[in-house]
Structure 1
């Protein structure tokens, strides 16, 4: 049995925390300072984490390797299993041109460019985030807005700022699933708290989008549709994440937001010519005027409806129990770790949900979608293989970062840093979202940030007397606000709209929005840690 130590370096908590932070510093410096590719930075950080575990924490070599392998396996299944299958469904809609039909359908929903920004940037962007994540919503929504006639820079800013509220539940709940696994907290508990933080962002972001599109005039003339859209999204995200399904949170929220927006009469009125002249300064795509058969429009929406249906059926108690029977829980080989108090840690066991996991359910929905879209078995398999190839660097990044996180957590490095950070006391509640924001700003991924800092947040919470669920959730909720300024997302946005090399200009446009919303989230978390808003927590 390997027993974790909190002060292995010269019996000093400060020195031990500095040494324990070396893997994180390695990743952050290589990514943020030297602009190294994420997969190489992750592998370098993993190497440093292994060295610190072996040399400073005296973790046996076999247990160190075993902990890293367990983290890598969790990165592959269920995390990347979800992402691959979700992106595969999207690729099939592109293959059959049903995605173009969907784009034209959205373009016809509203004539006002300010409403189009809400429908595409906020609602459809959230739907894409729910299914794929990893930069896809920013690229796709920015291109769609440019096709409607938006200026490329404005389209990119709208797509980046809109990609906030849904990120914590993106890719079928991948960030919160990772957070729960890393911290050892129940998934329902963590998701519940995140679902009481990010919906508050959803109330604000649509209002910001109409300001970005058309300034004060946009807010004055379209505040009601924007507010209704944000409110419906927030209520649906809260309800789904707390009472329905973590994986369905963003899908339900996106559909509810779009439906509520279109129900407002003001959202369906044609925009005045002065508005169109000052906002739509780009080139409008000619195919927007093409009329699509109603049958094909229904088929274009079918994959998303099927995903909702499959996940909804999976939540029916008898079905849920039946699917859970395929879950395998076993002792992880060559791993026998106890915390500083001598209690065995949860990492000694490994749970493998073969069917009752988001990726497998998306795969079922994808097979049904292939039938509805008319994609044969051969083309569907080729698209799945192409999806894996497209995500090959993301696979390496996610597995290396999660292996790093597991080595740090099981060797005791995260606990040491958590004890050190706990010295911030009450100020920890304010700093917690900032740490998540910084992690996503550097890595470009809320999943990676949760893997890196989730256990640290929980350790610090235990030492400071704050609710562990609150600080863990704050890491993810604060992290979503760093995505719009991450080099990865800025590069994706610029490439999508033809502004390659102007990432700096785009950063200057979105940074004030990122910092302003981060301050709002910090205040929310501080108030939730006190009697003022503690009633919001489950």
Structure 2
């Protein structure tokens, strides 16, 4: 049975249909922010509610709705869940073998100040991982690092989610920007230029905002020189690389320049007072861990290099996995002549499975009037999580842990993450149901009716898209064409509308259900997703408002900024 999406199915009215489509989102907000449900319960009940609405309100065949949920759940496990499992596993290996004590000491040797540590790890290092991998790995790894340094787990997760705002639009080697070229026909380089004329305003502000959240305005002004070095070097590099090199490298280059600039700056400058959390005296477990390594511990350069090597190897593998030609070979689609890549292609082809989703593939007619293909995309070798697992296997030999302890640690990781993975599978399943039923497009079409105010509301589309799907790439694919058509109809430059979708989307990442689940899983807060959601939601809305104002001004007053 074929299902045709209907965006006025409720009372033959777009507004009424949109109100119904909004119910699962409002329910999820209520479940986490007010009812404080555990993440997996909130996720499963939101998925159930979306299924009921898809079938009874949007007239979707029940079997089609259920199969769309399974497609999302499979994607939630691979690649997203697989990244979380392998990231946390690699981190646990460094803790078990004592290498993380040396990592902690090496960061403390740069600075013992918690504010600067947050800039180095959450902002710069997290942005580097976002540029190389994306899909949850940056928050998982950088948040785990901060907890290891002695940060409160909730603060560590929250700060890393907020810091992740700056790099998301160019994440995973620029995929969110590149993805928009297909449905719109607008060159990715042009969209990259425009995003590079919006996000640097946020990038220069985020480091200051992070420290204000951590320590208040007075303590933030104490380290203003460091904040300016961190934010300005990142923002300037982001602008230059996005405008003159394209969408692939802004995150990697900006993060590296920011990281090294701040580390070097700290050799010549020190804050007047060293800031530590007021609650640190009460954090007995953390203090006990820190006590084993006094701040004046000295390790050789070789020991420090060995301790950091798992993350250097991780970076190398993830960077390789992101190179387009290698990615083709890893997923069995390479057609070149290189012998090594042909060999990898053979293995990649054997480990790539793309079965059609039964009762769903080409069974839905979308807004374009064309049937929508639906496949289970299982790229086992090509998944970023597999790159991280290989980094963990190489790490096994460097840190000299036995295969038995290696396997036990992996088992412990799987046991710890069972509920977070269930949360991720359920919320991605919900995202797929809302897309397949037409709920997401209905919400987008309502915002597109705002006329002259559309430049202000354009980023809200991206924000909703990322909240629902957890991915700036998915949100861009979901709403790019709608943004383009609406912008053209009201006289707004479509390039600005597309960049607003990407820039607005980054502010939704920190409250996306799967991002919340990933961050909680990484810092051992499974079941506390509601607390983290309450921590980040106000910051998400504030930063979205900033992007909306920037977009409105660029459309009406600062139009010279549009390429």
The TM-score range, normalised by the shorter chain, is 0.7 to 0.9
Q: State the distance in 2 between where 1:366 and 1:522 align.
A: 42
Does the CA-based 8 Å contact 1:112-1:267 persist in structure 2? no
- Show the counterpart of 1:33: 34
- Show the counterpart of 1:204: 205
Q: State the distance in 2 between where 1:513 and 1:56 align.
A: 33
Matched ranges for 1:164-313 at <5 A: 164-167=162-165, 192=192, 197-208=198-209, 222-234=223-235, 253-264=254-265, 267-272=267-272, 275-276=273-274, 285-286=290-291, 287=293, 288-313=295-320
Cα-to-partner distance string for 1:8-67 (whole Å, 9 max, x where unaligned): 223222222222222223222222232222211221122222222222222222222211
Does the CA-based 8 Å contact 2:8-2:17 persist in structure 1? yes
Does the CA-based 8 Å contact 2:444-2:461 persist in structure 1? no
Does the CA-based 8 Å contact 2:165-2:507 persist in structure 1? no
- Show the counterpart of 1:479: 508
Offset at residue 432 of structure 1 (A): 4.9
Q: 1:344 aligns with which of 362, 371, 374?
A: 371
Does the CA-based 8 Å contact 1:203-1:234 persist in structure 2? yes
Matched ranges for 1:63-142 at <5 A: 63-110=64-111, 115-124=116-125, 126=127, 132=137, 137-138=142-143, 140-141=145-146
Offset at residue 73 of structure 1 (A): 0.9
- Show the counterpart of 1:396: 422
Does the CA-based 8 Å contact 1:14-1:420 persist in structure 2? yes
Offset at residue 126 of structure 1 (A): 4.9
Q: State the distance in 2 between where 1:212 and 1:15 align.
A: 39
Q: Which moved more, 1:400-409 or 1:157-166?
A: 157-166
**2:48 equivalent to 1:47:** yes
Q: State the distance in 2 between where 1:361 and 1:535 align.
A: 39
Q: 1:477 to 1:55 in 2, by over 3 A?
A: same
**2:379 equivalent to 1:381:** no
Does the CA-based 8 Å contact 2:188-2:247 persist in structure 1? no
Q: State the distance in 1 between where 2:505 and 2:202 align.
A: 13
Q: State the distance in 1 between where 2:439 and 2:217 align.
A: 49
Cα-to-partner distance string for 1:244-295 (whole Å, 9 max, x where unaligned): 997x87666544322111233x6533444xx349999966854222222332
Offset at residue 77 of structure 1 (A): 1.3
Q: State the distance in 1 between where 2:327 and 2:129 align.
A: 26
Matched ranges for 1:415-494 at <5 A: 415-433=441-459, 448=470, 457-458=479-480, 461=483, 464-465=486-487, 467=494, 469-480=498-509
Uncovered stretches (5+) of structure 1, i.e. residues with no partner:
147-151
Q: 1:250 to 1:98 in 2, by over 3 A?
A: farther
Q: How many pairs does the alignment contain?
A: 513
Offset at residue 109 of structure 1 (A): 1.2
Matched ranges for 1:12-23 at <5 A: 12-23=13-24
Q: 1:448 to 1:321 in 2, by over 3 A?
A: closer
Q: Secondary structure at the match of 2:371?
A: coil
Cα-to-partner distance string for 1:207-260 (whole Å, 9 max, x where unaligned): 4456677877767775444322223334566788896997x8766654432211
Q: 1:84 to 1:158 in 2, by over 3 A?
A: closer
Does the CA-based 8 Å contact 1:240-1:249 persist in structure 2? yes
Taking only aligned residues, the RMSD between alpha carbons, in angstroms, comes to 4.8
Does the CA-based 8 Å contact 2:78-2:383 persist in structure 1? no
Q: 1:203 to 1:182 in 2, by over 3 A?
A: closer
Q: State the distance in 2 between where 1:223 and 1:405 align.
A: 40
Does the CA-based 8 Å contact 1:176-1:476 persist in structure 2? no
Q: Secondary structure at the match of 1:85?
A: helix
**2:356 equivalent to 1:331:** yes
Does the CA-based 8 Å contact 1:91-1:383 persist in structure 2? yes
Q: State the distance in 2 between where 1:357 and 1:457 align.
A: 25
Q: 1:22 to 1:201 in 2, by over 3 A?
A: same
Does the CA-based 8 Å contact 1:81-1:359 persist in structure 2? yes
Offset at residue 340 of structure 1 (A): 4.1
Q: State the distance in 2 between where 1:57 and 1:206 align.
A: 44
- Show the counterpart of 2:149: 144
Q: State the distance in 1 between where 2:216 and 2:31 align.
A: 38
Cα-to-partner distance string for 1:121-148 (whole Å, 9 max, x where unaligned): 53355568767456764575266366xx
Q: Secondary structure at the match of 2:298?
A: coil
Offset at residue 302 of structure 1 (A): 0.8
- TM-score when normalising by structure 2: 0.73
Q: State the distance in 1 between where 2:516 and 2:390 align.
A: 34
Does the CA-based 8 Å contact 1:330-1:350 persist in structure 2? yes
Q: State the distance in 2 between where 1:270 and 1:218 align.
A: 14
Offset at residue 70 of structure 1 (A): 0.8
Q: State the distance in 1 between where 2:520 and 2:214 align.
A: 21
Q: State the distance in 1 between where 2:123 and 2:57 align.
A: 47
Does the CA-based 8 Å contact 1:127-1:254 persist in structure 2? yes
Q: State the distance in 2 between where 1:462 and 1:489 align.
A: 32
Q: 1:430 to 1:108 in 2, by over 3 A?
A: same
Q: Secondary structure at the match of 1:50?
A: helix
Uncovered stretches (5+) of structure 2, i.e. residues with no partner:
282-286, 334-348, 489-493
